[in-house]
A = this chain, B = another copy of it.
Amino acid sequence: MAYLFDRVAIIGLGLIGGSLAKAARGENLFKKVVGVGRNEKNLEKGIDLGAIDSYTTHLAEGVSDVDLVVVATPPGVIIEIIKKVVPYIPDGCIITDVGSIKEEIVKGAERLIADNDKIYFVGGHPIAGTENSGIEAIDPYLFIGHKCVLTPTPKTNRVAFEKIKTMWEKVGCKVISMDMIKHDNIFAIVSHLPHVVAFSLINAIINIKYLQEDILSYSAGGLKDFTRIAASHPTMWKDIFLMNKENVLNSITHFQSSMEEIKRAIAEEDSEKLVSEFEKSREVRRAIK
């Protein structure tokens, strides 16, 4: 039987990397998987959970004989890792990533492999995160029914792109090809902004210091949904906000105007305005159900 990839290195064995490895092994896409990371205990768990066959804490050793490298670390260190592994990667190897922002990563990766026409990079972003993170949360069905955005450029090798596309499709994703700049613009709005908002809300509540008792015990559905989002991985989100800074700041400004408008309508007791604004929100819900 022919595997899609014979030897795969997963660098950063967290929710996404671990789930991909486990799902791909289940589908017989990967023959052997080596987990690469700094935390041996975590890597041991990866073996126990059936995500990887072996592990190493040495980057160079991990990638020395693989035909696929998946960089599944927080986005802020992806470029640094690609820089470190490029000298040790065998010819013909494909590198891909799972970072939630794409322009900075794709441009950086293409610069790093510019002198080597036997190594290929394909930027990817599976839209399948949850507020959970870490190897304990891995799930081979995580990707089923979710979109995975790939961001090819004129420099992207066509064969490499098709192999990465096949990999994500086989683990259950609907793969979409999109320009990296457009990707970062759209995700600033539909993903990064909601996270900024959720973090801001929870921190606002924490900061209301005059509240002596545990008011959170009175929270119903609304607040619980926010706290779920705001429990997302702190370092990963810090990286995303900084790497997509201009788009994120822009979307925050849009949000602030929208909130100021609702605040003013409340202050001025403009019932008509409030109801019509809320009706609009309701329609969006219907549209994306």
Contacts and interface: CB of A to CB of B under 8 A. Distances in A.
A245 interface: yes
Interface in A211-229: 211, 215-229
A255 B234 CA distance: 19
Contacts of A288: 216-217, 219, 223-224, 227
Contacts of A221: 129-131, 229
Most buried by B among A197, A229, A269: A197
A259 interface: yes
Main secondary structure of the interface of A (DSSP, over half): helix
B190 A282 contact: no
Contact of A206 (B202, B223, B284): B284
A63 B278 CA distance: 33
A147 interface: yes
Contacts of A146: 220
A220 B129 contact: yes
Interface string A226-264: 111111101101100110010011011011111101110
A285 B228 contact: yes
Chain A interface category by residue count = 35 or more
B199 A277 contact: yes
Contacts of A258: 200-201, 203-204, 207
Interface string A264-280: 00110101001101111
A190 B284 contact: no
A221 to B, nearest CB: 6
A208 interface: yes
Contacts of A286: 231
Contacts of A252: 259, 263, 266
Given A128-B220, A216-B284, A222-B229, A204 B275 contact: no
B228 A225 contact: yes
Contacts of A220: 127-129, 146, 190-191
A97 B237 CA distance: 43
A271 B236 CA distance: 11
A259 B218 contact: no
B201 A255 contact: yes
Contacts of A227: 281, 284-285, 288
7 contacts: A190-B223, A191-B220, A196-B262, A219-B288, A231-B286, A234-B282, A248-B266
B197 A259 contact: yes
